[in-house]
Amino acid sequence: MSPLAVKDKVYVGNSGGEFGVRGWITALNADDGHIVWKAFNTGPDADVLIGPNFHPFYDMDKGQDLGVKTWPPDQWKLGGSNVWGFISYDPETNLIFHGTGNPGVWNPEQRPGDNKWSNGIFARNADTGEAAWYYQFSPHDQFDHDGINENILITLPVNGQPRKVVLRPDRNGYMYVLDRGTGQVLSATPYVYINSQTGVDLQTGRLGYAPDKMAATGKVVHDICPNASGAKDWEPSAYSPRTGLLYVPHENMCMDWEGLEANYIAGTPYVGVDAKFYAGPGGNMGLFTAWDPVHNGPAWQLKEKYPVFSGALVTAGDIVFYGTLEGWFKAVDAKTGNLLWQFKTGSGIIGQPVTYRGPDGKQYIAILSGIGGWPGAIVAGDLDTDDQTAAAGWGKAMEDLKKDTTKGGTLYVFALP
């Protein structure tokens, strides 16, 4: 993950949910690196920095030592729930907001319970790390739907009144609008095809799972949508206050999923699933969506052959930039989605576009081209696409990618006229 610096502290979390590690986030002193505070995301309340000022909105997130009680005995010690994604900071409340990753092990039958505090979002005091509230997007995660995606802090009109919210395109396929002060879910709208979940109950906050799509040990469950990489993986979206739209690079994928018995051996993969991924409805694996968070729907949407694993960048000139796994770097109109320009780079793009003003006064756009990531491992690792389980499920889905791009790593910089 990328660290976040706020005032005199640097915030960073750990990775490794697929290796049975225990997730945490820590604040380091920016001057000398010493640990100011550290909060675990599994275990007893004292370790999670949950105290008298912790006030989750929903009953499902209330109780003592839920980071222990919602796991089988001692499983929380191998529980993942890492902070490998994004951290946001609200200077008005002095709160940081961070997601937590998937619980370990992937096979849900080996960890009955809600598995707190995985697959959720914490609001924490930036100075002390003390938890203010928490909400769990995917209790008892069925499909590796990490909760680490970006938390966008904006003000939206809700019932005619401005409200400070967290806007969150989650991996489970729902676009969440949460009250920033309490964690209440104001809306949770599907932004991709979903058949594995039945929706979010706004009274209880709880996500419902479709009974016929529940994971099972030794049984292949077919046609689960979205797949394990989710409706949107880690690739960050971008919000424009000019258009009021959120620009979301994401996936349109389904999968077959079989639970396997997994045993923990330190330093080795701790997964317990056999997965096979493929395109969702329509046959395209990727989507780039301009989402209207006020009207809870897409303003426009573009289809891509492969999952869109690059980040998005939107400028004050109402242009949106993003890249594709084939290596196309594209500029589209922020209001309409019309293609304005594209450039074929030497390798697939999973990097994040950035913009800056140069010493000559011109505006520049930079993008790093170099295939990789979960689906890109097929090319980067030269894996056998006849094996549908290659790259933990991406094998067959990415068989054409070897023809459409190559390995590489090049930084491209473009000047805007």
Q: What ranges do the domains of the chain cover?
A: 4-217
Q: CB neighbours of 208 closer than 8 A, spacing ≥ 6?
A: 197, 198, 199, 200, 201
pLDDT-based confidence at 15, cuts 50/70/90? very high
> Helix or strand or coil: residue 311?
coil
Q: What is the pLDDT of residues 317-330, one digit of tens each?
A: 999 999 999 999 99
Q: What share of the chain has pLDDT > 90, as a percent? A: 97
pLDDT-based confidence at 388, cuts 50/70/90? confident
User: Which amino acid does the sequence have at 330?
Assistant: K
pLDDT of residue 417: 83
Mean pLDDT of 386-396: 91
pLDDT-based confidence at 147, cuts 50/70/90? very high
pLDDT of residue 267: 93
Cβ-based neighbour number of residue 305 at 10 Å: 17
**Residue 164 — φ and ψ, nearest 5°?**
-80, 120
Question: Are the C-beta atoms of residues 143 and 196 closer than 8 Å to each other?
Answer: yes
pLDDT of residue 374: 92
Between the CA of residue 134 and those of 6, 338, 357, what are the distances in Å?
A: 21, 39, 38
> Helix or strand or coil: residue 368?
strand
**Mean pLDDT (the chain, rounded):** 97
386 is catalytic: no
Q: What share of the chain has pLDDT > 70, as a percent? A: 100
CATH H superfamily, domain 4-217? Quinoprotein alcohol dehydrogenase-like superfamily (2.140.10.10)
Dihedral, 106, 112, 117, 118 alpha carbons, nearest 10 = 20
pLDDT of residue 159: 87
Between the CA of residue 218 and those of 32, 107, 363, 412, what are the distances in Å?
A: 51, 11, 55, 47
296 is catalytic: no
> Helix or strand or coil: residue 309?
coil
User: Which amino acid does the sequence have at 160?
Assistant: G
Q: What is the pLDDT of residues 32-65, one digit of tens each?
A: 999 999 999 999 999 999 999 999 999 999 999 9
Between the CA of residue 186 and those of 51, 55, 167, 196, what are the distances in Å?
A: 26, 17, 10, 22
pLDDT of residue 343: 98
| Choice among 14, 18, 170, 251 that is catalytic | 18
User: Which amino acid does the sequence have at 306?
Assistant: Y
Mean pLDDT of 269-288: 96
pLDDT-based confidence at 228, cuts 50/70/90? very high
Q: What is the pLDDT of residues 53-106, one digit of tens each?
A: 999 999 999 999 999 999 999 999 999 999 999 999 999 999 999 999 999 999
pLDDT of residue 152: 98
144 is catalytic: yes
| Choice among 61, 141, 144, 256 that is catalytic | 144
Between the CA of residue 301 and those of 235, 287, 324, 337, 384, what are the distances in Å?
A: 17, 7, 15, 7, 32
pLDDT of residue 359: 95
> Helix or strand or coil: residue 375?
helix
Whether the per-residue pLDDT at 179 is higher than 90: the answer is yes
pLDDT of residue 380: 94
| Choice among 102, 115, 119, 252 that is catalytic | 102
CA distance 324 to 312: 11
Whether the per-residue pLDDT at 337 is higher than 90: the answer is yes
